[in-house]
A and B are shown apart, each in its own frame.
Chain A
Amino acid sequence: MPPVTANSPGATDPGRIRNFCIIAHIDHGKSTLADRMLQLTGVVDARQMRAQYLDRMDIERERGITIKSQAVRMPWTVREGDQVGDQAVLNMIDTPGHVDFTYEVSRSLAACEGAVLLVDAAQGIEAQTLANLYLALENDLHVIPVLNKIDLPAAQPEKYAEELAHLIGCQPEDCLRVSGKTGEGVPHLLDEIVRQFQPPTGDADAPARAMIFDSVYDVYRGVVTYVRVIDGRIEARDRIKMMSTGAVHELLELGVISPEMEKAQALGVGEVGYLITGVKDVRQSRVGDTVTINIRPAKEALGGYKDPKPMVYSGLYPIDGSDYPGLRDALDKLKLNDAALGYEPETSAALGFGFRCGFLGLLHLEIIQERLEREFGLDLISTAPNVVYRVIMEDGAEHTVTNPSEYPTGKVAEVYEPVVRATVLTPNDFVGAVMELCQGRRGTLLGMDYLSADRVELRYTLPLAEIIYDFFDQLKSRTKGYASLDYEPSGEQKADLVKVDILLHGEAVDAFSAIVHKDKAYNYGVTIAAKLRNLIPRQQFEVPIQAAIGNRVIARETIRAIRKDVLAKCYGGDITRKRKLLEKQKEGKKRMKMVGRVEVPQEAFIAALSTSDSPDAGKGGKK
């Protein structure tokens, strides 16, 4: 451990500390700017440098998105201006850049005093950035607007400086201009971070209170908890207490990230660092919770803690039934690192044994699915994602439905569905197209503002169910890729919803049941029935495919019976070949899923479920 200096963790004057985050849209260059900062502050030398240094997971680096946040401590000596020569300690707290993780974003923001609003000078602000900007302003963060990628030929810094100034209420010349790629303007930005952002304030003598803004499971070290100390001090040998649960843990290690883990003796007011206690599950160390010291606990937790609540559900089934235990183990492992992931065993007559999983949103679902397939080598079928419905029966009984096939039978009085407040930013040429889309998805316009002469912000209330159904793809295709979307949960609404069942030869196929708006039921039924007719091979008997609401059939297709399934010739020399062919066909038959007496190939389920309505909403600008 290095000798304690004025800049050592636990001994740093809060007045020197600046805690900040960078708010940016997905490909606006946040990681590249962070890389440049790491180099300029000397915490990573050129030899160690690799692109997107802080993004640890493969999926993050490949998709260019940050799922898990991090916090890096960087020393910085002001180079210019009235504070030249001042030594500062900068904590850069990375925020997840996605709509599904709004709560995590809000906790990261709560750990900062300032935010760098980073906008691509060739593209302007996007909906998610705007949403996070509003979050930052709600958290009373000071915002430094920065235009990035000024080296690009297509950059229009003047235009977008106007836009940012309009949004934040500053002057266009207050917008800094940098290039994360070339490093131009970055030292000045670091100087401005020291000059403009407030140092943290807190009561050094009060009982310790630190806010957890991230919690990551590491195979070797157990859960690593990232905290920002608000009051008091946490020492390396303390026993800490989680205020939401009262659980007490022995502290095995604490330290800071710079940019690898560095052990320290203590963390004081305003400092940002990590704690390791040996717990194995991030659920025991939840984002937003308050950490205090067991022997001298704080009386009140810091505000803002929420339990993560799944918004979107989907059934995950192994394509090969024998992979079921493997899927369970994989989910158990992912859960260690993901407090928001929930799952329960589920049996589908059509798909076999699987799990009904709850997710924060569609990206979350997609990430989990991709990790299960990539890291655990599983082949999965997932059912169409659905939201949570609250169904009230005429007798007053209330059901929470997370799986359409469990929709109650009997007399339903009212159904409630979750709604979101959505923000769409679009060039004004496409306003009509966006409005048409939102209205078609049962949206209610809340308001519309011009951010600049040619960019419009549209605010809608939309049923969440309508957003998880290919909304984002539609939005992108109708606006030539220019529009961006953000949304946040906004309660529930009563809606005229019905459950549509799909019957194959008279038997309902649970995997295809869906809860849809009454006006869309027919369309759903016709579409899926037609799709199945093309996907299911002809059987020895005629197979009707019906879409039904209760007992009322709303659409019907027929798979005609197969009329010939016999090899014409079978001479002496054909016998071995024919037997082998038969054995192969028998194997193929075993892989069929039986729905009643109908043999349905796995591929038909996969193809019917993986519609063009892929869970794509809010994936961001990477297309």
Chain B
Amino acid sequence: MPGQLPDGDAVPADGALPDGTALTGRGFGVYVHVPFCASRCGYCDFNTYTAAELGGGASRDQYADTVLAELALARRIVNPPRVDTVFFGGGTPTLLDPDDLGRILEAIDRTWGLAGDAEVTTEANPESVTPESLRRLRKAGFTRISLGMQSAALGVLAVLDRKHTPGRARAAAREAREAGFDHVNLDLIYGTPGESVDDFAASLAAAVGAGVDHVSAYALIVEDGTRLATRMRRGELPYPSDDVAADRYLAAEAALGAAGFSWYEVSNWATSEAARCRHNLLYWTGGDWWGLGPGAHSHVGGVRWWNVKHPSAYASRLADGHSPGHAREVLTATDRHVEDVMLRLRLSSGLPLSALDAAGREAAAHAVKDGLLEERDDRLVLTLRGRLLADAVVRDLLP
């Protein structure tokens, strides 16, 4: 979740959606934002706070109750048939006690009902979990865990300010599987200043060797206002190079492909269809979800809104019985089309040709000729080179 919230229209105090807003029927998810971290990483601009940064009223102890208050408000606004996916993100959700996480999950179940095969994921830092806490999470109903491994190279972890040792992520993944998690993801970051070809190859080998069924690999994005950006501006660290990032991406595809992973979104690989993150797929295919927590984004039937960013403001809104919604936007038909093309094209399932107008189809034909797209069963799918130029392809396809 980015640190800067977009501009938008006002949200009414009761949080009511515009008249006529209806669930899309493409599945319903719940996102729970946990805005706490043990320390802030130099590259991170997410909406998260260390204990030192937060005063009273928004403390970690009371956080679960505050989220439950928003859930009570949400229940009056939407009424989905069931919850298909739940995702706890942060921050570091595992800084909350597993009982707190379990309590929130239970409340979601009570509110809307969890589907029998619901996917319930939590993000975790490798150093913030133990075999014991993992067993408790599994018991509380979590089915999937996503570990922020980032790199297997000590030097890279140091530049990123990550606290864990290179071996810890792999151990945590093993512990998670032993605790009964069928689905374990490792997050990797590539293109960090100082990372060598061998560093990244070692990271890939470690991830593959950890026996997980899902890997996400992201190019380092240097966000404004982060410590990393400051260090680069001062010349203490070089800026990441797009050419290097492209090489790393190709290395990831090669190593993961060889280990039996296939891509299903430009930055995500899984060993099977079942191993794909259904919650993220819901985002990318226009499903509905409610985002709980400060700064959390929601989408219901073409209305997107986002909560106030600061945990204290969030808590006090709810204490007053008001919606924590900060602003919202009602998507126009054009907006929806743009999002549809922008998101679906990133998926291995691709974009149906029928989604494009004549000019878009002509642009697609050009992209096919240039080797950026492939046409398969009336769908457009990015080639390997096209995945690296996805944004450019999207711009070409849109009017």
Which of A571, A577, A586 touches B395 (beta carbons < 8 Å)?
A586
Residue of A nearest to B366 (CB): A597
Pick out which of these stretches binds chain B: A10-18, A349-357, A560-568: A560-568
Q: Would you call A219 an interface residue if the criterion is a C-beta within 8 Å of the partner chain's C-beta atoms? A: no
Q: Would you call A589 an interface residue if the criterion is a C-beta within 8 Å of the partner chain's C-beta atoms? A: yes
Q: Lowest 10 A-B CB distances belong to which pairs?
A: A563-B246, A573-B297, A568-B218, A573-B1, A566-B390, A564-B242, A564-B246, A565-B392, A572-B283, A568-B219
Q: Given A564-B219, A568-B267, A582-B395: A573 and B284 within 8 A (CB)?
A: no
Q: Would you call A583 an interface residue if the criterion is a C-beta within 8 Å of the partner chain's C-beta atoms? A: yes
* Chain A 581-597 per-residue mask, 1 if CB under 8 angstroms from chain B, else 0: 01101100100000000
In the complex, the answer to whether A566 meets B389 with C-beta atoms within 8 Å is yes
13 contacts between A and B (CB under 8 A): A564-B249, A565-B390, A567-B221, A568-B266, A572-B291, A572-B299, A573-B296, A575-B339, A576-B8, A577-B2, A579-B335, A582-B395, A589-B395
In the complex, the answer to whether B267 meets A569 with C-beta atoms within 8 Å is yes
Q: Would you call B127 an interface residue if the criterion is a C-beta within 8 Å of the partner chain's C-beta atoms? A: no
Please report whether the interface of chain B is mostly helix, strand, loop or mixed according to DSSP. Answer: mixed
Q: Given A568-B267, A570-B346, A573-B1: A562 and B389 within 8 A (CB)?
A: yes
Q: How far is the CB of A79 from chain B (nearest CB, A)?
A: 71
Q: How far is the CB of A425 from chain B (nearest CB, A)?
A: 48
- Within the assembled complex, what's the spacing in Å between the Cα atoms of A576 and B328? 10
Q: Given A564-B388, A567-B391, A582-B395: A576 and B245 within 8 A (CB)?
A: no
Residues of B within 8 A of A562 (CB): 242, 389, 392
Q: Would you call A578 an interface residue if the criterion is a C-beta within 8 Å of the partner chain's C-beta atoms? A: yes
Q: Would you call A580 an interface residue if the criterion is a C-beta within 8 Å of the partner chain's C-beta atoms? A: yes
Q: Would you call A540 an interface residue if the criterion is a C-beta within 8 Å of the partner chain's C-beta atoms? A: yes
In the complex, the answer to whether B329 meets A576 with C-beta atoms within 8 Å is yes
Q: Would you call A376 an interface residue if the criterion is a C-beta within 8 Å of the partner chain's C-beta atoms? A: no
Q: Given A562-B242, A577-B6, A580-B6: A568 and B389 within 8 A (CB)?
A: no
In the complex, the answer to whether B342 meets A579 with C-beta atoms within 8 Å is yes
In the complex, the answer to whether A585 meets B398 with C-beta atoms within 8 Å is no
In the complex, the answer to whether A576 meets B267 with C-beta atoms within 8 Å is no
Which of B266, B283, B306, B335 touches A566 (beta carbons < 8 Å)?
B266
Sorting the interface of chain A by its residue count into under 10, 10 to 19, 20 to 34 or 35 or more gives 20 to 34
In the complex, the answer to whether B343 meets A570 with C-beta atoms within 8 Å is yes
Residue of B nearest to A597 (CB): B366
Q: How far is the CB of A511 from chain B (nearest CB, A)?
A: 25
Residues of B within 8 A of A585 (CB): 391, 395
* Chain A 330-363 per-residue mask, 1 if CB under 8 angstroms from chain B, else 0: 0000000000000000000000000000000000
Residue of A nearest to B304 (CB): A576
Q: Would you call B31 an interface residue if the criterion is a C-beta within 8 Å of the partner chain's C-beta atoms? A: yes
Q: Would you call B372 an interface residue if the criterion is a C-beta within 8 Å of the partner chain's C-beta atoms? A: yes
Residue of A nearest to B279 (CB): A572
Q: Would you call B243 an interface residue if the criterion is a C-beta within 8 Å of the partner chain's C-beta atoms? A: yes
Q: Would you call B177 an interface residue if the criterion is a C-beta within 8 Å of the partner chain's C-beta atoms? A: no
- Within the assembled complex, what's the spacing in Å between the Cα atoms of A586 and B329? 20
Q: Would you call B63 an interface residue if the criterion is a C-beta within 8 Å of the partner chain's C-beta atoms? A: no
Q: Would you call B132 an interface residue if the criterion is a C-beta within 8 Å of the partner chain's C-beta atoms? A: no
Q: Would you call A450 an interface residue if the criterion is a C-beta within 8 Å of the partner chain's C-beta atoms? A: no
Residues of A within 8 A of B297 (CB): 572-573, 575-576
Residues of B within 8 A of A586 (CB): 395, 398
In the complex, the answer to whether B338 meets A583 with C-beta atoms within 8 Å is yes
Q: How far is the CB of A21 from chain B (nearest CB, A)?
A: 60
Residues of A within 8 A of B283 (CB): 570-572, 575
In the complex, the answer to whether B243 meets A564 with C-beta atoms within 8 Å is yes
Residues of A within 8 A of B364 (CB): none
Q: Which residues of B contact A (CB under 8 A)?
A: 1-2, 4, 6, 8, 31, 89, 218-219, 221, 242-243, 245-246, 249, 266-267, 280, 283-284, 289, 291, 295-297, 299, 304, 306, 329, 335, 338-339, 342-343, 346, 370, 372, 387-392, 394-395, 398
Residues of B within 8 A of A575 (CB): 283, 297, 299, 304, 339, 343
- Within the assembled complex, what's the spacing in Å between the Cα atoms of A589 and B392? 10
- Within the assembled complex, what's the spacing in Å between the Cα atoms of A571 and B343? 10
Q: How far is the CB of B212 from chain A (nearest CB, A)?
A: 19
In the complex, the answer to whether A564 meets B389 with C-beta atoms within 8 Å is yes
Q: How far is the CB of A177 from chain B (nearest CB, A)?
A: 59
- Within the assembled complex, what's the spacing in Å between the Cα atoms of A579 and B392? 13
Residues of B within 8 A of A572 (CB): 31, 283, 289, 291, 297, 299
Residues of B within 8 A of A567 (CB): 221, 391
Q: How far is the CB of B360 from chain A (nearest CB, A)?
A: 13
Q: Given A564-B242, A583-B338: A576 and B388 within 8 A (CB)?
A: no
In the complex, the answer to whether A566 meets B391 with C-beta atoms within 8 Å is yes
Of B4, B372, B392, chain A has the most CB atoms within 10 Å of the CB of: B392
- Within the assembled complex, what's the spacing in Å between the Cα atoms of A566 and B386? 9
Q: How far is the CB of B118 from chain A (nearest CB, A)?
A: 17
A sample of 18 more A-B contacts (CB under 8 A), given A567-B221, A577-B2, is: A540-B392, A562-B392, A563-B246, A565-B389, A566-B388, A566-B391, A568-B221, A568-B267, A569-B218, A571-B280, A571-B283, A572-B289, A575-B299, A576-B304, A577-B6, A579-B338, A582-B395, A586-B395
Residue of B nearest to A571 (CB): B283
- Within the assembled complex, what's the spacing in Å between the Cα atoms of A117 and B276? 90
Residue of B nearest to A567 (CB): B391
Residues of B within 8 A of A134 (CB): none
Residue of B nearest to A569 (CB): B218
Q: How far is the CB of B223 from chain A (nearest CB, A)?
A: 11
Q: How far is the CB of A588 from chain B (nearest CB, A)?
A: 9
In the complex, the answer to whether A582 meets B392 with C-beta atoms within 8 Å is no
Residue of A nearest to B248 (CB): A564
- Within the assembled complex, what's the spacing in Å between the Cα atoms of A148 and B195? 70
Residues of B within 8 A of A580 (CB): 6
Which of B6, B284, B398 touches A570 (beta carbons < 8 Å)?
B284
Residue of B nearest to A583 (CB): B338
Q: How far is the CB of A16 from chain B (nearest CB, A)?
A: 75
Q: How far is the CB of B256 from chain A (nearest CB, A)?
A: 15
Q: How far is the CB of B9 from chain A (nearest CB, A)?
A: 12
In the complex, the answer to whether A563 meets B388 with C-beta atoms within 8 Å is yes
In the complex, the answer to whether A582 meets B338 with C-beta atoms within 8 Å is yes
Q: How far is the CB of B326 from chain A (nearest CB, A)?
A: 12
- Within the assembled complex, what's the spacing in Å between the Cα atoms of A580 and B242? 22
- Within the assembled complex, what's the spacing in Å between the Cα atoms of A540 and B243? 13
In the complex, the answer to whether A574 meets B289 with C-beta atoms within 8 Å is no
CB-contacts of A381-440 with B (<8 A): none
Residues of A within 8 A of B295 (CB): 573
- Within the assembled complex, what's the spacing in Å between the Cα atoms of A580 and B331? 12
Q: How far is the CB of A555 from chain B (nearest CB, A)?
A: 25
Residues of A within 8 A of B343 (CB): 570, 575
Which of B242, B266, B291, B335 touches A563 (beta carbons < 8 Å)?
B242
- Within the assembled complex, what's the spacing in Å between the Cα atoms of A568 and B245? 10
Residue of A nearest to B8 (CB): A576
- Within the assembled complex, what's the spacing in Å between the Cα atoms of A564 and B219? 10
- Within the assembled complex, what's the spacing in Å between the Cα atoms of A565 and B392? 6
- Within the assembled complex, what's the spacing in Å between the Cα atoms of A580 and B327? 15
Residues of A within 8 A of B304 (CB): 575-576
In the complex, the answer to whether B339 meets A540 with C-beta atoms within 8 Å is no
In the complex, the answer to whether A540 meets B242 with C-beta atoms within 8 Å is no
In the complex, the answer to whether A573 meets B392 with C-beta atoms within 8 Å is no
Residues of A within 8 A of B243 (CB): 563-564
Q: How far is the CB of A601 from chain B (nearest CB, A)?
A: 15
Residues of B within 8 A of A576 (CB): 6, 8, 297, 304, 306, 329
Residues of A within 8 A of B218 (CB): 568-569
- Within the assembled complex, what's the spacing in Å between the Cα atoms of A585 and B295? 25
- Within the assembled complex, what's the spacing in Å between the Cα atoms of A137 and B36? 89
Q: Given A564-B219, A564-B249: A574 and B338 within 8 A (CB)?
A: no
Of A564, A574, A578, chain B has the most CB atoms within 10 Å of the CB of: A564
Q: Given A541-B370, A564-B243, A564-B245: A579 and B395 within 8 A (CB)?
A: no
Which of A564, A573, A579, A589 touches B339 (beta carbons < 8 Å)?
A579
Q: How far is the CB of A579 from chain B (nearest CB, A)?
A: 6
In the complex, the answer to whether A566 meets B387 with C-beta atoms within 8 Å is yes
Residues of B within 8 A of A578 (CB): 342
- Within the assembled complex, what's the spacing in Å between the Cα atoms of A580 and B342? 11
